[in-house]
A and B are shown apart, each in its own frame.
Chain A
Amino acid sequence: MGMTMTQKILAAHAGLDQVESGQLIEAKLDLVLGNDVTAPPAIDIFNQTGAADVFDREKVVLVPDHFTPNKDIRSAEHCAVMRRFARTMELPHYYEQGEKTMGVEHVILPENGLVAPGDAIIGADSHTCTYGALGAFATGVGSTDLACAMVTGETWFRVPEAIRVELRGQLSPHVGGKDLILFLIGMIGVDGALYQSLEFTGPGVASLSMAERLTICNMAIEAGGKNGIFPVDDRTLDYLRQYAPERFDKQQYTVWTADDDASYVRTIEIDLAEVPLTVSFPHLPDNTKTVGSFDPVVIDQVVIGSCTNGRLEDMRLAARYLKGRQVAKGLRLIILPGSQRVWTESLKEGLLEIFADAGAVISAPTCGPCLGGHMGILAANERCVSTTNRNFVGRMGHPKSEVYLAGVAVACASAVLGRIASPTELEEVLS
């Protein structure tokens, strides 16, 4: 029987010709990742196993990004555990604050050329599924899985079934990859792809930028998915040429395609032209509504950034909507470029000046407010429009605060108008 793209990558890493859904396999890993929340417990467990060294220094990546720059003494102690481990193990892929290659983990791994098509990657962070945008298999695990994988370079998987998401057409003006993934989650629910792969395919794929594909795969977990994955095309290879030139030149990557007779639990067809500007209302990502279809929602804060929407394209888009405009009086707009590279490029391109002129707070790269860590915590009854990925109870602060998930265009329009708004309204109201 035919295999899906995900199944082929897993089979190759398990040394098998064939796998089928439900099968338990042990697979070799190309990369294992931890951050300042998940790596310290993993390091404890690593030490308990008695291992003297990690399986491969080049393949263990540690990123301090959640509570960094260290927000308090306890966070500092947590980060220190990881820092010491990285130093002792002489890990080249530890990214310290301020380094040119540092930033939010799922922004910097692709940027730093650590991900290529056909790779199998686990990360002790649920949004590790981001890397499926490059045609890799990537999924989130916990600290114990990370620890054991740091020792052995392997982990166990249950081979997933897949949902095929067939895309055609092109997104409408102002509508982006974020709207598409929120729309899809709204359609299938937060457990609509539980234990399964979301395999994106169809002629509509070509029109989506790499930044959009990264945003889309990033949120596969919000539908319960094990991974999200895109086919490899010219855009993928151009991206690889730019960010991982050595692997590109030496052809150290594998392009897998799903078999024609691969089996899927269901197929969802989406005409991209019909995807509306979408917002997820509190307190679940699947609680989606079309912008313009609800009564005005007045807001206190807007956050633009994160592993979902903190890339250079997102910053450029934000600048396009914010240029020459002012953040609504009394509203806080917090912009977090996702990496030092994104920050520096935003500076060079004049984007940061546009943000500052509009009245935005510009932060160092950090996960910060996305998980209610720091840099923009909400008080009781405050509302925030955010380009991040979760709007659970208490996610960004007080359990009585509210987070509305949206793309960059809606976030910017909302920041200027002080209520959830579409970019079209922005043009109408201000003209």
Chain B
Amino acid sequence: MIAQGKVFKYGTNVDTDVIIPARYLNTAVAEELAAHCMEDIDPDFIHQVEPGDIIVAGANFGCGSSREHAPIAIKASGISCVIAPSFARIFYRNAINMGLPILECPEAAEFAQSGDRLTIDFDSGIVRNETRKTECRAKAFPDFIKKIMAADGLTGYIAAKRASAE
């Protein structure tokens, strides 16, 4: 699987309250959530994002609340992947469960700037910065998580497990 797009760059500790403010959590409709994605730190994001674009951020991306609305909003906005040196653990789980690809890459913060174009090969974990002609390697998913991703998220994984048990 390959993803390609331009970069939206953010700092460290991007929390779920700025990814999708709680005042919008009285809905779980993906498109409605996406309309407010990142608005408290980057009101332009939702107007500039195009399908395939990539968020590159500093450490501890997705810290804070357990709201699955955060990866849902990011995915529905068109973002194809989030790259950061580390992710908050609930966000990490939620992103996998929702099928939003996220890659841990220690040098992510220095590797790309806003507007750079990246190509990501999920099988090899190689991220290529087309604008700067550089490459870096991200950590691949462990096998167990690959299985969840292959089943298109945890719901599919559980359904398959139930089917095989019956």
- Which residues from chain A sit less than 8 Å from chain B, CB to CB? 24, 37-38, 40-41, 44-45, 48-51, 66-67, 71-72, 74-75, 78, 123-126, 128, 140-145, 147-148, 151-152, 156, 190-191, 194-195, 221, 224, 226, 284, 371-373, 390, 392-395, 397, 399
A144, B98: Cβ atoms under 8 Å?
yes
From B63, B65, B94, B97, A190 is in contact (CB under 8 Å) with B63
- 18 other A-B residue contacts (CB within 8 Å) besides A44-B28, A394-B18, A394-B40: A38-B67, A48-B155, A48-B159, A49-B158, A78-B28, A124-B68, A140-B90, A141-B93, A142-B67, A142-B94, A144-B155, A151-B162, A191-B59, A194-B60, A221-B90, A284-B13, A371-B17, A373-B23
Give the complex CA separation of A371 and B64 in angstroms.
Answer: 11
Q: Report which of A37, A142, A392, A393 forms a contact with B90, defined as CB distance below 8 A.
A: A142
Residue B89 lies at the interface, judged by CB distance under 8 Å to chain A? yes
Contact between chains at B66 and A393 (CB < 8 Å): no
Q: Are A152 and B158 closer than 8 Å at their CB atoms? A: yes
Interface residues on B, range: 35 or more
Q: Which residues of B contact A (CB under 8 A)?
A: 13, 15, 17-18, 21-23, 25-28, 40-41, 59-60, 63-69, 71, 86, 88-90, 93-94, 97-98, 142, 144, 153-155, 158-159, 162
For A126, list chain B residues within 8 Å (CB).
64-66, 90
Q: A191-B59, A226-B89, A399-B40 are in contact. Are A392 and B15 (CB under 8 A)?
A: yes
Would you call A37 and B25 a contact (CB within 8 A)? yes
| Residues of the B chain whose Cβ atoms lie less than 8 Å from the Cβ of A71 | 26
- The residue that A49 contacts in the complex, of B13, B22, B69, B155, with Cβ under 8 A, is B155
Q: How far does the Cβ of A121 sit from chain B's closest Cβ, in whole Å?
A: 13
Pair A190/B25 contact, Cβ less than 8 Å? no
Residues of B within 8 A of A51 (CB): 162
- Closest chain B CB from A281 CB (angstroms): 14
Q: Which A residues lie within 8 Å of B97 (CB)? A: 142, 144-145
* Cβ contact within 8 Å between A191 and B60: yes
Closest to B12 in A: A191
CA–CA, A48 and B158, complex, Å:
11
B110 to chain A, nearest CB (A): 18
Given the complex, which residues of A lie within 8 Å of B71, measured CB to CB?
A: 142
Q: How many A-B contacts are there with CB distance less than 8 Å? A: 138
Distance of A136 Cα from B34 Cα, bound (Å): 36
**B60 to chain A: closest residue by CB:** A191
- Kindly identify which residue among B17, B67, B89 contacts A393, using a CB–CB cutoff of 8 Å: B17
Q: Are B159 and A142 in contact (CB under 8 A)?
A: no
A-B contact pairs, 27 of them (CB 8 A): A24-B144, A37-B22, A45-B155, A48-B159, A49-B159, A49-B162, A51-B162, A67-B26, A72-B26, A123-B66, A124-B68, A126-B65, A140-B90, A142-B66, A142-B68, A142-B98, A151-B162, A191-B86, A194-B86, A224-B88, A373-B23, A390-B17, A392-B17, A392-B64, A393-B41, A394-B17, A399-B21
**Which chain B residues lie closer than 8 Å to A397 at the CB level?**
23
Q: How far is the CA of A50 from the CA of B65 in the complex (A)?
A: 28
CB contacts (< 8 Å) of A48 on chain B: these are 155, 159
Closest CB-CB distance, B57 to chain A, in whole Å? 13
Interface centre among A72, A78, A126, A152 (most CB of B within 10 A): A126
Chain A min CB distance to B99 (Å): 10
Interfacial chain B residues near A38, Cβ < 8 Å = 66-68
Known A24-B144, A44-B28, A148-B155: A390·B64 in contact at CB below 8 Å: yes
Nearest A residue to B88, CB-CB: A224
| Contact flag A372-B68 (CB < 8 Å), given A49-B162, A152-B158, A191-B63 | no
Chain A residues with Cβ below 8 Å from B21 are: 372, 394, 399
Task: Known contacts A147-B155, A394-B18, A399-B40; decide if A190 and B13 are in contact (CB<8 Å).
Answer: yes
- The CA of A195 and the CA of B15, in the complex, are separated in Å by 16
A393 to B46, CA, bound (A): 18
